[in-house]
Amino acid sequence: MKMAVIGGTGVYDPSWLSHSVEQEVETPFGVTRVTHGRLDGVDDDVFFMNRHGAGHTVPPHLVNYRANIWALHQLGVKRVVATAAVGSLNVAMAPGTFVLCDQFLDFTKSRAATFHNGGDFGVVHTDMTVPYCPDMRSAIARAGRHAGISTVDGGCYVTTEGPRFETPAEIKAYRLLGGDVVGMTGVPEVVLARELGLCYSTIALVTNYAAGIAADVLTHQEVLDVMAQNVAGLRGVIAGALPRLQHDRLCGCGPDAQQ
């Protein structure tokens, strides 16, 4: 089973894979870069992709999500674990908490958010009842327990357009709507993965309380600092989860379940 990790903010280094090789992948949506290598306990290659490009040069609203997800699909990847730095709207999810998202709210505005634009790709309305793979979530939660890192299994990820942070009024509204964490990249990544029948899961690492909940104003440096403190734990959880996910998919995320 080919699996991939999409590294978000603060997760850039593929050195946890051995014998790693970087390649350029051409897709109908543009060119992207993917590293593949070996991970202990996983029989097949594991792929790694930097969501924000080399040196974190691509902001959330300009990430080529379609090229990234298409490239993984083209390489034969079936399961994707994404990492994301997020702010928390939920006082039960303090900075440092790992949240395994199970729902999302979409407040993005200007992104290419589907493969289905008619023509060759057809008119398709993909079911989004279970956007995040439940089997991946439970494997990640088990790997977290094994590593002594507590994860919260379930949480609603609010995706904003960015690149600015939110106003306190927006955060208050998102909280009323049922959001738990807020970030800028969850959508359309999860949607595109579902459209192609990939199993997809997000480990959202809370780096801060969101605007208006935090006592101070928010800075990107604060996000990077908290990510840096937790990145080893995050890698440990992923390295523990992937060997538990090599079995055939029984979760219903596959393409047959999409029609």
Residues binding ligand HPA (CB under 6 A): 85-87, 160, 165-166, 182-184, 207-208, 210, 218, 223
- The dihedrals phi and psi of 204, each to the nearest 5 degrees, come to -95, 120
Identify which of residues 47 and 209 has a Cβ nearer to ligand HPA in the complex: 209
Q: What six digits make up the tokens of 176?
A: 């009323």
* C-beta of 51 vs 79, nearer to ligand HPA: 51
Q: C-beta of 255: minimal distance to ligand HPA in Å?
A: 31
Q: Which two tokens stand for residue 28?
A: 């109908």
Question: Minimal distance in Å, beta carbon 82 to ligand HPA?
Answer: 13
What length does the chain have? 259
Instruction: For the CB of residue 84, give the shortest distance to ligand HPA in the complex, in Å.
Output: 7
Judged by beta carbon, residue 72 or residue 182, the one nearer ligand HPA is: 182
Q: Where do the H-state alpha helices sit in the chain?
A: 65-74, 134-146, 168-176, 186-195, 220-241
Q: Is the dihedral of CA 6, 78, 243, 155 positive or negative?
A: positive
Nearer to ligand HPA, 171 or 191 (CB): 171
Nearest distance from C-beta of residue 203 to ligand HPA, angstroms: 13
Q: What three-state secondary structure class fits 200?
A: strand
